[in-house]
Amino acid sequence: MGDLEGASLADWPISYDDLEPYYDKVEWAFGVSGQAGANKHESRRSRGYPCPPMPQSRYAQKFHQGCQELGWNSFPTPQAALSRPYDGRPATVISAFAQQHGDPTGTRSSALNVFVPQAVATGRYDLRADCYVREITLDERGRAKGAVYEDADGDLIEQQADVVVLACGAIETARLLLLSKSARFPDGLANGSDLVGRNVTFHEYSAAVGTFDDPIYAWAGGGYVSASSFEFYESDDSRGFVGGGHIAAAGVGIPLPINWTLPDRPSWGAGAKQVDREHFNHSMAAAMVVHDMPQHDNRVELDDTVVDAWGLPVARITLTPHENDLRMGKFLIDRNAEILEAAGAKTVQKVYIDRITGNCSHQHGTTRMGNDPATSVLDRNCRAHEVDNLFVVDGSPFPTGTGANPTLTIMANAWRVAEHIAAGRH
Ligand SMILES: Cc1cc2nc3c(=O)[nH]c(=O)nc-3n(C[C@H](O)[C@H](O)[C@H](O)COP(=O)(O)OP(=O)(O)OC[C@H]3O[C@@H](n4cnc5c(N)ncnc54)[C@H](O)[C@@H]3O)c2cc1C
């Protein structure tokens, strides 16, 4: 992509070919429902998906209809859900109760339903619930010695380990490293580069919202049954910004939380209720993920004054969108609005990202991986340059956030790093 003024772009030290075998492993171990080849922009795959796509909801069908009218490619979003029984597990129950409120039927393809039971069954996995890690300790050689955690009874325990792997999410991983100060690392563990916590990206997520005469029931289907397009993922200089992101039909939240940010909705009172009534059954969102640019000063730090329930400084997040993010977000939301209009929406409102900035469900970048210890925290195998038995496997190693939802890449990369650790190559 090249440089962009004000951004701290960095190349990934690994390629798609390094990750592709692990995308495949995760998808087949996990049970992902999708349709290979339906996304005409998709990257090389070594094989198809283990399960056919999830049934398409009413809002997914509207999204496809709008894209088709406009001549844009769309496809059923590959999802961590089972469209059929798979590997001893039942098909995923499609339920409004499973929309961002946990998984009451236990039928999603989550780590909790798949990998944790498998790990427990080996007898070699000791899951300690309700334990809160306060610090990673060091031995006299400067290697990670273990983790100090507080258990549910409030007892402090130091668990020693040959290898320490952090996967707390990009905010909390950075925070834990910054909390782990020592004489050797006075500014936080593995933070000689002063990059721990920096370059955080969050994929500002927003949408155009349309209402239709016919009911959409977007609250009923869960995020499982959606449709996407990568038509605007690749960079195109003629658009006035670099990069791009994926767009998708969305019916998430009860009612759609995005409706609460609509420009025409009063914040409270009868007017707000009226908008909610009109939207509840009849609205859908066409949403987008901004491939936001990393910036040196967008960062996670320890707060000076606020502490959590354990008395430790909370994470303080500083985030200013890059001008490129705002332009990209506007462009993608304008395209989303066109999709809704082409699908026959009677009203369409656009929620540009300056109205919603600060959503942080997709976290990346706070311990970026790279080949140069001066410009990265981790090496290409996600091992800290400065602590050779310390690894990070959540979204923190991502040098850039990409323009697509991150979890499959987090999992594929974690599997890659796990094989590296298990092979004793560290
Ligand atoms: C509302 C919402 C919707 C999302 N939708 C999508 C989607 O559609 N697609 C997608 O790809 N991604 C989605 N994501 C993002 C996805 O949830 C994350 O990418 C994914 O969970 C990251 O996995 P992880 O294991 O790295 O981190 P997490 O799932 O955040 O797990 C980190 C764990 O570490 C624990 N932890 C943190 N600090 C400590 C500590 N000090 N001591 C002990 N434990 C600690 C936390 O309690 C947590 O259990 C969504 C996120 C949200 C919030």
Q: Where are the alpha helices (DSSP H) in 247-383?
A: 269-280, 323-342
What CA–CA distance (Å, rounded) separates 329 from 334? 8
Nearest CA to ligand 1 atom 49: 168
Domain boundaries, the chain: 31-127+201-362
Helix (H) or strand (E) holding 121: helix 115-121
Residue 21 and residue 29: Cα distance in Å, rounded?
12
Q: Rounded distance, CA 287 to CA 83, Å?
A: 23
Please check whether residue 7 is in contact with residue 324, taking contact to mean a CB–CB distance below 8 angstroms. yes
Taking CA atoms only, the protein residue closest to ligand 1 atom 15 is 362
C-alpha 89 to ligand 1 mean position (Å)? 23
Ligand 1 nearest-atom number relative to CA 405: 11
The DSSP string of 30-58 is HT-B--TTSSTTPPP-SS--SBPPPPPPH
In the predicted model, is pLDDT for residue 218 greater than 90?
A: no
Closest CA to 257 of 207, 202, 211, 329: 207
> Considering only CA atoms, which residue is closest to atom 32 of ligand 1?
168
List the structure tokens of 158.
């130091």
User: Which tens digit of pLDDT belongs to each residue from 266-286?
Assistant: 889 999 888 888 888 999 999
- 305-343 tens-digit pLDDT: 999 999 999 999 999 999 999 999 999 999 999 999 999
Minimal-distance CA residue to ligand 1 atom 47? 168
Rounded to an integer, what distance in angstroms lies between the CA atom of residue 193 and that of residue 48? 41
Q: Which residue's C-alpha comes closest to atom 3 of ligand 1?
A: 361
Q: Which atom of ligand 1 is nearest to the CA of 414?
A: 26
- φ, ψ of residue 138 to 5 degrees: the values are -120, 150
Residue nearest atom 37 in ligand 1 by C-alpha distance: 168
Instruction: Answer whether 225's CB lies under 8 Å from 55's CB.
Output: yes
Residue 224 pLDDT > 80, yes or no? no
What are the pocket residues of ligand 1 if the criterion is a CB atom closer than 6 Å to any ligand atom? 100, 132-133, 167-169, 172, 176, 223, 361-362, 394-395, 405-407, 410
pLDDT, one tens digit per residue, over 8-35 is 999 999 999 999 999 999 999 999 999 9
Residue 202: is its pLDDT beyond 90? yes
Task: Measure CA of the first residue to CA of the last residue in the chain; give whole Å.
Answer: 31
What pLDDT was estimated at residue 103?
Answer: 84
Closest atom of ligand 1 to 393 CA is: 26
> What pLDDT score was predicted for residue 100?
65
- What ligand 1 atom has the least distance to the C-alpha of 170? 26
Provide the pLDDT for residue 318.
95
**What atom of ligand 1 comes closest to residue 395's alpha carbon?**
26
pLDDT at 104: 83
Secondary structure of residue 146 in the 3-state scheme: strand
The set of residues, in sequence order, having a beta carbon less than 8 Å from that of 66 and lying 6+ positions away, is 286, 338, 339, 340, 341, 342, 343
